[in-house]
Chains A and B, each alone.
Chain A
Amino acid sequence: MHHLLPLLAALPLLGAALLVVTGRHLPRAAAETTGLVFSGGTAALALVLTLNSSPPMVEWVGGWLPVDGESVGIVVVGDGPALGMAALVSLLTVAALAYSWRYFAEPPPGHPGAFTALMLVFQGAMCGFALAGDLFNAFVFFELMSVVAYALTGYRIDEARAVQGALTFGVVNSLGAYAMLMGIGLLYARTGELAMTKIGRGLDTAAAGHGGPDGLVLASFVLVLTGLLVKAAAVPFHFWLPDAHAVAPTPVCMLLSGVMVELGVYGVWRVYGTVFAGPGGIPAADLTRALVTLGTVTAAVGAVMCWYQRHIKRLLAYSTVAHTGLFLVALGVLTPEGDDGIALYVVGHAGVKAALFACAGILLDRYGSVDEHELHGRARELPGVAVMFAVGAVGLAGLPPFGTALGKGVAEEAVGGPLTVVYVAASAITAGAVLRITARVFLGLGPRPRDARSDLETSGTGERPETSGPLRRIPDTMRTVPAVLLAAAFAVGVVPAFGGLVARSVNEAGSGGAHASVRWTAHGILLGLASTALAAALAALAVTRPRWVAAPGWAVPLRRLQSGHVGDYVAWLLMGVTVLGALALPGVLGG
């Protein structure tokens, strides 16, 4: 069974290559079917392997099995979290491909399968990254995933914003990746190894010689985490995300927000747990300080910025930033319950967020706009989409029994105390913003907002539909996909065995063998209900008394920071490196 692990990366790549070989001679429908077959086949393989991932599997690619504990090969890890992420990636790719079925206006001349092929490479790259047990191999798949994502983000070259957003995305993420590679170089210098577990052991051995971690460990920790946190869009590394997600084609947004950003969080979990968790690494207290601080700020900034958006896709992008903050906080407390909570939260969030983007895409293709003000009341004719948007909003808030609510409840109990407030507030504000959109755009409630043009914000007007003209009728595929995704997010919370399964496989892979049970608690349900009620109240207030919740003066500087200038974003990235270093410093000084 374990020999099949690398195929999760190889199969989609093979599909992509075959599509390019035959692409010129295939009709479009055949190319898209091929894409679905390959990504669906990979998804099936990922699911089968996930169900067999206990005990965790390990595969040495090329058959370079370790001799006396030493190997020259690359190790691929097939434990629950890795295979679970690969399965999530694959299922979401299938959904995105189904959503884009006969969807794009004009495939590049002579390349009817190019978009599908790029999506397949993206899937293979994300699966490869999820399974990587070798640090340099993780970097390679990280770069592959980035490169495809840049190309997919800039896919609509006729749009000025699309190419600018893709370029910003490319520069910031590549710089993060190079920082990560510098960190890998430092770790290789210290330990002479590349497999993550071997590096971890090497650090411990070296630290035993001269008492605790030193400057090199700190620098490599900060540099490697910088790359991963740029991908995870933690403040202040997050600026690229709204710019890229607002302009990428809708099916790509579903993948970017649904899984790619979360893979950054997953990478932090994997790298800390296998490389830096030992006595030669970064002490747990320092990691907690760093991640909880960054996570809280990220959740706060994401939620506030989300609330003040009028561009619907940008609004959803900021809600992803806020939720990543929540994931980082729960990851930072380093408890088995926290890990279980985020795992479930990530799965539920992927379904909900992808469905919301899919609905936003329907608006874009139907009206050529994703602007809250311009679309006021115009989408009354789409009751089905309205229901899905509202359901997505309450899913985002964490209304029981959605999967997001189960994950959020477990995570809230793990973090405990005042941090619970962050969870309730961030999920309520982001969900409130989505409910506000539902009320204004789909129901036409409240006064039409006055259209004050300012250079402070990006409006969603004047966008070109992604189809070959505004849609008269919404195709069945575009309606079905968000419905199925929402149903899946619901099922995550409802199917009783699922939570236990996820918790078991997460704890088996990390958390030092400690098992935590995952179940609905009164505490979690109450907090979920409270977030939803708060979200509904915020939305109602925004619609009926817009003045009361209009942007206050202090939010203006915060919004000005999102300047769209790539130089600013790079300066913030450097600042983030410094902050991360300062937050992790005490343990190194003390050691």
Chain B
Amino acid sequence: MQILPYLVAAYVFLVGCYGLATSRNLIHTVGCLSVCQAATYVLLLAVGYRDGATAPVFSDVEPGSRPVVDPVVQALTLTDVVVGATVTALLLALVLQVAKRHGTVDPDELRELRG
């Protein structure tokens, strides 16, 4: 039970990798990349969790009255989310152009760039 959240993060990362390797559609590929990234959110937030703790926001909690979860990982996760969203947008833009130039989004049918 104690390592379950970490195992979930590992599982999510592996599933994303499986999807990336076997994908038949580039949009799906980009989605799988986001799945891999979701694993990093799970890992970071699991690392920062503390039993019985609340959010590290002191506008309605007296400082020191309750434990709070690690605010650093939350900030890191926020950064990570923004990174993920922008990378997804950029890669989808590239998929759109691949679809226009190659007429397909199936990676098996892209016949350029070999050898």
Contact = CB atoms under 8 A, between A and B. Distances in A.
Direct A–B contact in the complex, CB atoms closer than 8 angstroms: yes
Interface string A442-469: 0000000000000111100000000000
A147 B94 contact: no
A289 interface: no
B110 A458 contact: no
Contacts of B20: 171, 175, 566-567, 570
Contact of B47 (A161, A168, A171, A185): A185
Contacts of B33: 171, 174-175, 178
B114 A163 contact: no
B82 to A, nearest CB: 10
Contact of A458 (B9, B83, B115): B115
Nearest to A163: B97
Contacts of A161: 112-113
Interface residues of B, number: 42
Contact of B115 (A147, A181, A308, A568): A308
Contact of A567 (B23, B39, B98): B23
Contacts of A157: 97, 101
Contacts, number: 135
Interface string A146-168: 11001100100111110111111
Interface in A355-384: none
Nearest to A567: B21
B90 A565 contact: no
Interface string A559-584: 11011111110110010000000000
B39 A150 contact: no
A59 interface: no
A166 B98 CA distance: 10
A159 B90 CA distance: 17
B87 A167 contact: no
B40 A181 contact: yes
A571 B19 CA distance: 10
Nearest to A565: B107
A181 B9 CA distance: 12
Given A178-B39, A458-B115, A164 B47 contact: no
B115 A150 contact: no
A305 B94 CA distance: 27
A419 interface: no
Contact of A143 (B87, B97, B101): B87
A140 B79 contact: yes
Contact of B21 (A160, A166, A170, A570): A570
A169 B80 CA distance: 20
A412 interface: no
Contacts of A158: 101
B31 to A, nearest CB: 11
A305 to B, nearest CB: 8
Contacts of B36: 175, 178
A456 B114 CA distance: 6
B59 to A, nearest CB: 20
Interface of A: 136, 140, 143, 146-147, 150-151, 154, 157-161, 163-168, 170-171, 174-175, 178, 181-182, 185-186, 188-189, 194, 242-243, 246-247, 305, 308-309, 455-458, 559-560, 562-568, 570-571, 574
17 contacts: A136-B76, A163-B94, A163-B97, A164-B102, A164-B110, A171-B33, A171-B91, A178-B36, A182-B13, A189-B47, A458-B113, A458-B114, A562-B114, A567-B20, A567-B22, A570-B21, A574-B17
Interface of B: 9, 13, 17, 20-23, 26, 29-30, 33, 36-37, 39-40, 43-44, 47, 72-73, 76, 79-80, 83, 86-87, 90-91, 94-95, 97-98, 101-102, 107-108, 110-115
Given A560-B115, A562-B115, 16 more contacts: A140-B83, A157-B97, A160-B102, A163-B101, A168-B113, A170-B94, A175-B17, A178-B36, A178-B37, A188-B44, A246-B113, A456-B114, A565-B107, A566-B23, A567-B20, A574-B17
A-B pairs, 4 with minimum CB distance = A457-B115, A160-B101, A564-B113, A163-B97
